[in-house]
Structure formats: C-alpha cells, structure tokens
Amino acid sequence: MAAQPSSKSSMWDKTKSASNTWFQKIGAPVNKLSNKLGAEAFWPASLDQESDKAARILRSFCIDGFQAEQGGKHGNEKKHKSLDKIPPEVIRNCKGLAIFTVMRMGLHWSGAGGSGIIVAKMPDGQWSPPSGILIHTLGWGLVAGADIYDCVCVINNDNGMDGFTRVRATVGGEISAAVGPLGGGSTVDSEVFSRQSPVWTYTKSKGLYLGVQIDGTIIVERTSENERFYGVEKVRNKEILAGQVRPPQGGVLVSLWETLQACEGHAHDQSKLPPPGPAPGDLELEKPAVDSQREYDAFSENDRERMDRKW
C-alpha cells in the first residue's frame, strides 16, 4: 500500500503550484509585451539577475538620486524639480527592503506585473541573501499605453516584515504602507525613530519620483526560483531572510551587498557597485503597438477576477 503524502508536503506543493500559476499567468504576457517594446524582461529567470537589477534600482534611489517636485505647498509657490534621494538614515534603521520593477499597461483599466527581491537586516547588522518575489497590481492609477515603475519598500518593523514574508500578501491589506520621507535633518530623524508606518514606499517612473501609495499591489513568494537558486528543497523566505541558507559561491550577490552598504552610508567597495546608468523605471517607453495593447487588454479582462482570488 502506497504511503500517503504528509499534510506538510501537500501544503508545500500547493504553495509551489500557486507561485508557478502566478508566474505563468502574469510573466508570459508581460515578458512578451516588454520584448515588443524593446525593454528588458521583467521576469528574469534567475535570482542573480533580480539581485543585479535591485542593485541598479537602489543606486538610482539612494546614490545617484531622482527628480522630485518641490514647493507648491502654500498655493503661491511654483513647483520645481530637484535631485533627491532616500536618506541613508532610512536604510540604516530599517528591518528590510523589498525592491522591484513593475510594467503597467492599459487604457481604461491598468494592469501590472513584475518581479523583485526582499532582503532583511539580520541581528548582526549584516544583510541577508535575497528572496524572490512576484508582483501583481490591477487598477493602480490611470495608464494610457505602457509604463515602467521602480519601487523600494522600506520595511520598518516586525509587523511589516511578517506581511512581506507571507506566501501571498497585499499592500494596504496585510501590509500597511505609506509614502516614505525624503530629504534630511530633524524631519527625517523624527519619522525614522517614531516609525509612523510599518512600511514606507518610494516609487519612480521615467526618472521622476511619483510620491504615491501602492495599495492593491500583491506580493507573491517565488518559491520555485528560491529552491533552484539556493539548491535547497522546500526552502522558505523566512529561512533565507534569517541567514539560514548559504548563497551560491562565486560572488553573484556582491554587487547587491556592496550597494546596500553604500546606501546605508557605510564603507564599501566602489568598484563593486553597479555602473552608473538608468534603472528600468528611468526608461521612456514608446507607445505599444495596437496588437500588443489588444493582447494585454484581453489578458487583463480574462484574468482580473481569477488572479485576485485567494488560492
């Protein structure tokens, strides 16, 4: 008589199945459309590629800076754009970071898919290896044509980290988030140490800081890719983020770790940072072809309800 599978194994199979289903549903259409637009794939096949992309995004947010609108608070001031950065105090005092890129397309409804990583600050102050995530959003802002945005979620406390380490969680639902502080001085110090939100979000598109919340964004653990990258069966993101799993040899994560050190304002090896240049969200996409837009609209319409159901 054949042995019955344990409930633990069944749950893991269910988790992997859900992750793979989301990967196939969102990843294939988004990659197909992004390739038509001449952009890089937003569903890299390996976690080392995701880590390199995350290092570029972090550099653009924390080291090189982005264009943010200033002024206009009192009605009489004219708004102007100036270079700004995520303050190093914000990165130094956080519990972890979620870094990802999303491609949005749509006309009346916007739909989006993307991918990224999560890293955590371990008890010794070092950064953990990355855990892969998938991103899905419907209806986040009004988009005509195609758009790419980069996002850095600064996770400030254990509640925020617990939300991001679930197999599937929603920003604004299980994860409470608010737009993060910019600049420096006493205002930033006050926000950093008072921990006004479990998660702060920073988003930019076309190199311009958006300053908007990302409520409705769904984060899904990328179980299969984590297994493949670390060579550990049934590895979970909490194990990875606790530093219990050794990353592959060969220094594939050096660029990410050196960039994290630089973003905190700590000593780092400048030669190991990603080279200066645009992150995905700094790119200007051409308007998609008619057939690409129709493909995406059909994809969004057919899967909108099914993809928002809990498995």
Interval 152-189: pLDDT, tens: 999 999 999 999 998 888 998 889 899 998 876 666 66
Query: Residue 114 pLDDT more than 90?
Result: no
Query: Residue 237 pLDDT more than 70?
Result: yes
Of the candidates 100, 150, 128, the one whose C-alpha atom is nearest the C-alpha of residue 236 is 128
CA–CA distance, 278 with 51 (Å, rounded to integer): 16
CA–CA distance, 90 with 42 (Å, rounded to integer): 27
CA–CA distance, 262 with 257 (Å, rounded to integer): 9
Which pLDDT value is given to residue 231? 94
Structure-model confidence comparison of residues 78 and 246, the more confident one: 246
User: Residue 33: how many CA atoms within 13 Å on its side-chain side?
Assistant: 34
Q: Is the pTM of this model over 0.85?
A: no
Q: With cut-offs at 50, 70 and 90, classify the pLDDT of residue 111.
A: low
Query: Residue 251 pLDDT more than 50?
Result: yes
Lowest mean pLDDT among 10-14, 21-25, 132-136, 305-309: 305-309
CA–CA distance, 185 with 264 (Å, rounded to integer): 16
Query: Residue 130 pLDDT more than 60?
Result: yes
Query: Residue 298 pLDDT more than 60?
Result: no
Q: Which residues contact 45 (CB under 8 A, 6 or more apart)?
A: 225
Query: Residue 110 pLDDT more than 90?
Result: no
Query: Residue 12 pLDDT more than 50?
Result: yes
Which pLDDT value is given to residue 309? 41
What average pLDDT score do residues 65-83 get?
64
Cα 74–79–82 angle (5° rounding)?
Answer: 125
What average pLDDT score do residues 4-18 get?
54
Of the candidates 106, 188, 197, 119, the one whose C-alpha atom is nearest the C-alpha of residue 152 is 119
Asked if 219 contacts 173 with a C-beta cutoff of 8 angstroms, the reply is no
Q: Could you tell me the CA-to-CA distances from 156 to 86, 159, 181 in Å, in that order? A: 14, 8, 13
Of the candidates 110, 114, 37, the one whose C-alpha atom is nearest the C-alpha of residue 287 is 37
CA–CA distance, 203 with 124 (Å, rounded to integer): 29
Asked if 131 contacts 228 with a C-beta cutoff of 8 angstroms, the reply is no
Interval 28-49: pLDDT, tens: 555 555 444 444 445 555 899 9
H/E stretch holding 240 reads helix 237-241
Which pLDDT value is given to residue 272? 94
Which pLDDT value is given to residue 168? 87
CA–CA distance, 264 with 280 (Å, rounded to integer): 22
What average pLDDT score do residues 52-72 get?
85
Interval 142-156: pLDDT, tens: 455 667 889 999 999
What is the average pLDDT score of the chain?
77
Which pLDDT value is given to residue 41? 45
Which pLDDT value is given to residue 305? 43
Which pLDDT value is given to residue 152? 96
Residue with tokens 């519990």: 95
Number of other residues whose CB lies within 10 A of the CB of residue 257: 22
Which pLDDT value is given to residue 6? 56
Which pLDDT value is given to residue 300? 43
Asked if 142 contacts 113 with a C-beta cutoff of 8 angstroms, the reply is no
Q: Of the spans 23-32, 107-116, 134-143, 273-282, which averages the highest pLDDT? A: 273-282
Q: What is the largest CA-CA distance in the chain?
A: 81
Tokens of 92: 């130094």
Query: Residue 193 pLDDT more than 90?
Result: no
Tokens of 69: 């609108």
Of the candidates 200, 218, 188, the one whose C-alpha atom is nearest the C-alpha of residue 26 is 218
Which pLDDT value is given to residue 66? 87
